[in-house]
Structures are given as structure tokens and as C-alpha cells.
Structure 1
Amino acid sequence: MDVPYQFKQFDAVVVAGEGLHSYQVLHQHKAFLGIENRSVVSYVLDALIKAQSVRNIYVVGKQRALREHLLRDGIDLDQPKPITLLEQKQSLYENVWFAYMESLPEPVPESHLENSIYKDKALLVVPCDSPLITPHEIDYFTAHADIEHYDYVLGLTPEKALKPFYPRKGQPGIKMAYLHLKEDKYRINNMHLVKPGRIQNRHYIQTMYQYRYQRDIKNVVRFGVELFKKDCYRGYRFYLCLLVCLMCARLKLDRVADWFRRWVPKRHLEAWVSQGLKTRFTGLVTPFPGATLDIDNNRDFEVMKLRFQDWRQSLRDLVERYPLPEDVSAQTALSRSPVPSQLNTSGTDIETVR
């Protein structure tokens, strides 16, 4: 990879709010779905606790419900890392911004943030519904993220990394929609390393989140209208090509999709997103699918429960194939301490394509 390996630590934010644009599974909040007698959000916290690149953890949602589920699952809110529960606001954008402001070492008025030394503080933002996310995956992502030259690093998982989790004869699986780019087909992997103070058009993120579920054709149209109004039609060809590829993939017209994705080079799409958000944006491709395998609907949840142990083992096997940088591994070995957790593993919802 082009980015040099570095060992860096960040505060992490788990977005676990229940709002107007969040999706429920089996008529309940996804964070509190149970897999092997533990809440999905607890598996996410297990990984963050063990990840060496994570310093403090903030969970934004309904405080009372979060506290009850986490304590029941044996999550210690004080050690080995402090976990702060924050009451949710009205939107995803507000939740992340609230956590960012709470994570600052000292109170800073929002009006003074532009000239503050904390405007370059980066947060790792992860969702509450990716129970297969691993400490190794988190550390790998943060070690390769070029946070010196970018203000927003979004994780991408290539299709080949997700194929082992597809449905097979006699075995259920999960098959997702992709972002069809010239270089490859990618799935947004739900990890975001972002400097909130450096994104001028932060409110655009809420629009992206609001219309992220693009299996619903109404969301496709609404997102396109909102996008074109803000973008003054400059990036219309990117959106239309991505949309055509998505539709062709559903109709199993792969050759047609491959022809259209030639018009969407990754670096051009990154430049367009950077311009829209008024920040420095990039997508970081990683080989790990754990964070990508989130829970979107009832069927995915039933499959996740059934294949949970098999898939965790598959993810553990990837650790040897994609080790951490040498300097990270050395420091990890020196600083690792036992973590009281039931999760036995080795170790950027701004999703616009579903």
C-alpha cells in the first residue's frame, strides 16, 4: 500500500442511536439483538476494547437501555478502557458531533473550534450492528489510514473478500450490493476515521445516511434529487453510472455493469466527494470483511446467528494472511493485557449503496 505503516491511537464512537432513519430488525433496535446470549453491540465493544489503536470509547444511543444490556453482557464501563454512554440526539450527524465535542480534553465553544488545536482530532466511528468486527481488523484499518493527508478515511472491502460469506448449496449466507468502481467492486465496510472539525459540509452526511438504503427505489430518486441540488449537477455522471451498475447487478447483467463502471475511477469519485463535503476524502481498501457484515434485515440476522461461529473462525484465519505492521505488532505484544470478555477472537452509517 502507498500509506506508510504507523501506530496511532484514536478515540472511538459507536453509533447506536434509534432515530427516524434507523432500521429495526424483528421490531427491535439492532444494537440489542441477541446472538448467543449477548447483544450485538457488546460484540462491537469487545473488539474496540481489545484493539490497540483505540483509546477511549463513546457509545451514543439510549443511555438507560445501553447500560442495562452492556452490564448484563459483562461489559465493564470503567476498565480496561473507559466507556462513556451518551444520550442520543436527533440525527446521526448530531450524534457523532456530540461525541466528538465530548471527547475533547477540555470544553471548547463550537464557534472557537475553527481556531482550536483540536480541529485536527480524528475519531474512529463504527456502527452498532457489526458483531463480526475484530480487533485485528480495526488495528489494520487505523494503521493504514493516512490521516496526515486526509480528513475522512472510509473503509472499503473488495468483493473477493466477501464471496466466502455468500449463500452456497446447503449453507445460507449474505450477499450484498456493491459500489461499482473502475478498479473493482467494493462494499463500504462501516469504519470511518474522520476529523469532524475539518468537514465543512458536515450536514450533507445526514442526507447520505437518510437515503442510504437503496433497495428502496424511492430512496434512490430522493437521494439523486438532493445530491443534484447540492452539487449543481457536476457529479451527475458518477451517480448515474453507480445507479445503473446497481440495477444491472440486480438483473444479473454483469457485463453491462462492468462497462458502465469504467466511467467511475476511484480517485475521481474521491475528488467529487471531497468537493461536496469540502474536506479531504479517500477510500481505504482493506482485506477484512468483519465490519462489513452488518445486520440489515430479519433474514441477515437469522443467517448471522446460524453461521456466527463458522464466520468468526474464518475471520481469525485471515489474521495470519494479513498481519499488522511490524512496529504495531511489537507494541501490541508489550502493551497487551488480559481483557475480561466473552469474545474469544484473535486480534467509517453513512452507507449510500445497499
Structure 2
Amino acid sequence: MDVPYQYKQFDAVVVAGEGLHSYQVLHQHKAFLEIESRSVVSYVIDALLKAQSVRNIYVVGKKKELREYLRRDGIDLNHPKPITLLEQKQSLYENVWFAYMQSLPEPVPESHLENSIHKDKAILVVPCDSPLITPHEIDYFIAHADTEHYDYVLGLTPAKAMHPFYPKKGEPGIKMAYLHLREDKYRINNMHLVKPGRIENRHYIQTMYRYRYQRNIKNVVRFGIELFKKDRYRGYRFYLCLLVCLMCARLKLDRVADWVRRWVPKRRLETWVSQGLKTRFMGLVTPFPGATLDIDNNRDFEVMKLRFQDWKQYLRGLVERYPLPEDLSAHTAMTRVPVPSRMEASEKDTETVR
């Protein structure tokens, strides 16, 4: 007899594929860059191995190279958790979908997935290039993600949590672009707790990935053009506001950006994304920046190598400041908010911050 999935542990997928729209750093795939003689992807897998809320781990990429690097870095594919290496497909979407289907407890033809209980299975998707991700922030994110009412929970890190990593006098740092919303400025933290079988417009995610690099203003404009072609709900006005804010921030016109972002309330943006993907989407604000610090270019990588130990020590200090719930199986959202039905297209404006 089938029983509903219990929200205690989730399988994790590490996206380590090297495709047409993936970025290289120093002419090398980011997964295999080395910090202190270990590959970046190994740091990510280490964190997943230690996280209480992660069950099995699937790594999608160049299988042969992954096996060689993980073996060299001392990672056991069988202990303490099973790690399955999967050969990459043609795109990010195909890689995640393939790993999701492989993670099902029994083979299910895609044509039968619609009526299967496995359609409600959620997986944690993380990239291969966030070497500062920690077990604690993974558990914290999953503990607060409301998978009962949402099918796609995306982590968001507020700008103030990123300030300790900015360049300072005599110290190099990393400063990233943000999503300017009414409530605050956020950076996507690279953790996705998602039910792939519940996202009808899954192919849209590939378009977002293609133009994900927010520092490249051309990518932002190109994504906007793609968006205008597909958007039926006239929510593209939110994207225009986000674009204006991004340009103002680059020009140091902070007051203008702060005025424009008043027109992008977080809740309504979530509703728009939910409508576009045909799912129930929410952005979960968490205080941890480790997963957010990914490697996008040569300079960021060099800074990461120089500051790696200092930043690791800082992140360890956040553990006591933001403890986990006593019962990780509770998975209660930080603050309950009105939840839309799966296909509801609510236009209600609310300033509630999760």
C-alpha cells in the first residue's frame, strides 16, 4: 500500500554537468577546480554527507571524471551515505529530471507518473560550485521549507547576510548582484527543494538557467525577451522593475533602485512565478550565506581560495546564532502565510515576509 512521503529526509542532486550554457573558470569545469588540494564538488558532497536531512546523493556530470576526483579526495561512494554517479544529459533540466527519475524507489514510466504517488516526491537540488555550503544551513533550509503547501521552495539570502564577504580595505571579497524586492534585497542561495513531477512548465527552468548570470546585463535582457514571448499573465512588469533595479545598482543609483523595488512585493512575484511554472512556488529567506557563495568567474575563484579558511570560520560562528529546530522532522515554515492552491492565480498584494 502506498503511503505519502514523510518530510524527514530528502534525496539530494548535485548538478555537476558541463553543457552548452555552463560557465568555465580558468578554462576548467567548475566542479573540478581545486581549493586546498580538494575539488570544489567534493566540498559540496561532504556537506551533504554530514547533513541530517539528506538521504541519498546523486551527482550528475561526467561520470568518469567525477569518480576519479571523488576517489582522489577520499570520498567513499557507499559510506556513510550512498552516492550515485550519473552520466550527464544535454541540459540542466534533463540532468535534474534524470536524477529525479533514478531516485524513485521503483521504476515508473513517465507516462504513469501523473497518477503515481511518486509525483509528490521532493528532491534537494544544489550546484557543484558552492564550496562553502555547510551541513547546518542545508538542514536549516530543509527544516523550514514548507513542502506540504509548496512544490518548489527556493532559498533566498538577504543582502545583509552577504556584507561580511564584501571587499574591505586590505582584504579581497566578493560582491554579487541582487533581486531587489519591496521587503529587502536578496540573492538566490542555490538550494532548491522541488517536486519535479509537480512542475508542469519544467522546460522554463532551462531558459532561466541559460540566462542566470545576473552580472551580465545582456543575459538579463535576453531573458526578458524570452519572458515576454511566454508570459500570459502580464507579470513581466515585475521583471522590468527587477531589471531597472539591477541597472541602478550597477550605476550606484541606490535611491532610485529603492524607489522602484516598491513595485515588486515578494508575495506577488511568487504568485507570478507559480503561474508561469504552473506549480506552487515560494522563496524561503534564510540567514546563511555559504551556499550563496558560488564561483562564477576567475576573480571570484582566486578570492575564494585566499579567504576560504577565514570564511569557513565565520560560517561556523553562525551555527549557534541560528540553531536548528529540535525536531528536524517538523519542517514547519518560519512563519505561516496564506497558501495558494496548486493552480490559483491570486493577485492579492501582501507584504508578508517569510
- 1:253 Cα deviation (Å)? 0.4
- Report what 2:293 is aligned to: 293
Residues 118-157 of structure 1 aligned to structure 2 (within 5 Å): 118-157=118-157
CA distance in 1 between counterparts of 2:132 and 2:215 reads 23
Alpha-carbon shift at residue 7 of structure 1 (Å): 6.5
Deviations 1:36-82 (A, max 9, x none): 00000000000000000000000000000000000000000001100
The amino acid that maps onto 2:318 is L
Unaligned runs of 5+ in 2: 1-5, 331-354
1:66 aligns with 2:62: no
Determine whether 1:319 maps to 2:314.
Answer: no
| 2:179/2:187 contact within 8 Å kept | yes
Write the distance in 1 (CA, Å) between the matches of 2:233 and 2:118: 34
Q: Distance in 2 between matches of 1:135 and 1:111?
A: 36
Residues 44, 128 of structure 2: 8 Å contact kept: yes
Secondary structure at the counterpart of residue 242 of structure 2: helix
The corresponding residue for 2:284 is 284
Q: Deviations over 1:269-318 (max 9, x none)?
A: 00000000000000000000000000000000000000000000000000
Q: Could you tell me how far 1:220 is from its partner in structure 2?
A: 2.1
2:211 maps to what in 1?
211
Contact 2:7–2:329 (CA<8 Å) still a contact in 1?
no
Count of paired positions: 325
Partner of 1:47: 47
Q: Counterpart in 2 of 1:338?
A: none
Q: String of CA shifts for 1:4-57, please: whole Å, max 9, x gaps.
A: xx9720000000000000000000000000000000000000000000000000
Aligned partners of 1:301 and 1:115: how far apart in 2?
45
Residue in structure 2 matched with residue 225 of structure 1 by the alignment: 225
Counterpart in the other structure of 1:196: 196
Deviation at 1:329, TM superposition (A): 10
Letter in 1 for 2:123: L
| Cα distance, 1:113 vs structure 2 | 0.3
Distance 1:174 1:215 in 2: 12
Cα distance in 2 for partners of 1:275, 1:281 equals 9
When the two structures are superposed, what TM-score results if normalisation uses the length of structure 1?
A: 0.90
> Shift of the alpha carbon at 1:217?
3.1
Q: Aligned partners of 2:320, 2:7: CA distance in 1, in Å?
A: 19
Partner amino acid, structure 1, of 2:266: K
Q: Please state if 1:102 is matched with 2:102.
A: yes
Give the aligned partner of residue 246 of structure 2.
246
Residue 352 (structure 2) aligns with:
none
The whole-number CA distance in structure 2 between the counterparts of 1:218 and 1:174 is: 21
Name the counterpart of 1:9: 9
1:237 corresponds in structure 2 to 237
Name the structure 1 match of 2:175: 175
Give 1:345's aligned residue.
Answer: none
* Alignment-derived partner of residue 18 in structure 1: 18
Closer, same or farther: CA 312–7 of 1 in aligned 2, 3 Å:
farther
The AA in structure 2 aligned to 1:294 is: D
1:210 is aligned with what amino acid?
R
Aligned to 1:342: none
- The SS at the match of 2:328 is helix
- Structure 1 residue 219 displacement after superposition: 1.7
Contact 1:201 1:276 in 2 (8 A): yes
Quick one: which amino acid aligns to residue 209 of structure 2? Y
Letter in 1 for 2:81: K
CA separation in 1, counterparts of 2:80 and 2:282? Answer: 32
Between the two proteins, what is the percent identity of the paired residues? 89
Give the aligned partner of residue 117 of structure 1: 117
* C-alpha contact 2:8 2:329 (8 A) present in aligned 1: no
Deviation of the 1:233 alpha carbon = 6.2
